[in-house]
Amino acid sequence: MSNPLISAAELLQLVNAPTGNLVLLDVRWVLGRNDNVEQYLAGHLPGAVFVDLERELSGRTGEHTGRHPLPDPADFQAAARRWGIEDDAQVVVYDDAGALAAARCWWLLRHAGFTSVRVLDGGLEAWRQLKGPLELGPVEPTPGQVNLSWGAMPVLEHEQLEGYSGVLIDSRATARYLGIEEPVDPVAGHIPGALNRPTTDNLNSQAHFRSSSELREAFGKLGVPQAGPEQPGAAAYCGSGVTAAHQVLAAELAGLPLALYPGSYSQYVSYPQAPVVTSDEKHRDRR
């Protein structure tokens, strides 16, 4: 298994002396902010293309889709071509928020069968610390002709939740998991049986991913198995399937298979009959 991360130093070498078709994708996105494009225009890696998480890394929402459903495969391929990706491209994705958004793009490209994609460890801040060059303004790449597929990464669908015997990881902040607060979804709490491990636990104080051994130990404490016969024996969810992809990335660093529940908690609570658990560990009947 190749390393899904790339260091700022290694990327700087590629930018200064490119070998092959290098494509940089800036996935600037933070929940609740609407200035993502402006942040990108004010300074991004040379040649980096802005990726709109809401429009290009998510599909159309419906009553039971969750807030960020997976995009239609054809739409995602069209977006990847707009970004300038060819079949032989080396793709590096980054953001300015600990890879919490970049991991979504990484996961989708992998899910679409594209394997030559890595995440910049430490993100834009690591690049700044290295005094890497920045550019202003938009980038309009020459369209690519990449051919993508779909379904290469394991997923846990909503209908598979009932009777699911694997380890289910809730990747949200602990206060949301316990139902102490819920700033986004209409009902506070978590899916019964889910164990909490916030996505931010994957990072150290410099917003770099923890070592593979540290991550392996952390996932092991939750009971995440090494592998399953067909489907990974563990899955991750978050509020809407975005930051849970970060959990999948961390698990891959640890050498562990982890499925993604794309609809996540926002899809789960869209069904009024779905039980939730709060800090008192009692089911709340919402019918």
> What is residue 260's predicted lDDT score, i.e. its pLDDT?
98
Distance in angstroms (rounded) separating the CA atoms of residues 149 and 162: 29
pLDDT of 279 reads 77
The reported pLDDT for the residue numbered 1 is 54
Report pLDDT digits (tens) over 103-115. 999 999 999 999 9
- 19-23, 166-170, 211-215, 263-267: the lowest-pLDDT one: 19-23
Task: Please identify which of the residues 238, 253, 259, 269 carries the catalytic annotation.
Answer: 238
**pTM, two decimal places:** 0.95
Helix (H, G, I), strand (E, B), or coil: what is residue 167?
Answer: strand
What residue ranges define each of the domains in the chain, with the CATH number in brackets? 5-129 (3.40.250.10), 158-284 (3.40.250.10)
The answer to which of 10-19, 69-78, 94-103 has the lowest mean pLDDT is: 10-19
DSSP 19-51: -SEEEEEE----TT---HHHHHHT-BSTTPEE-
Span 179-229, pLDDT tens digits: 999 999 999 999 999 999 999 999 999 999 999 999 999 999 999 998 755
What are the two backbone dihedrals, phi and then psi, of residue 10, each rounded to the nearest 5 degrees? -65, -40
| Residue 76: alpha-carbon gap to chain centroid | 15
**Is 105 a known active-site residue?**
no
pLDDT > 60? residue 158: yes
Q: What percent of the chain has pLDDT over 90?
A: 90
pLDDT at 281 over 70: no
DSSP letter (8 states) at residue 241: S
d(CA 192, CA 281): 8
Give residue 287's pLDDT.
33
pLDDT tens-digit series, residues 138-156? 999 999 999 999 999 999 9
pLDDT at 5 over 50: yes
Say whether pLDDT at 2 is over 90: no
Q: What angle do CA 270, 276, 280 make, to 5 degrees?
A: 155
CA distance 128 to 12: 11
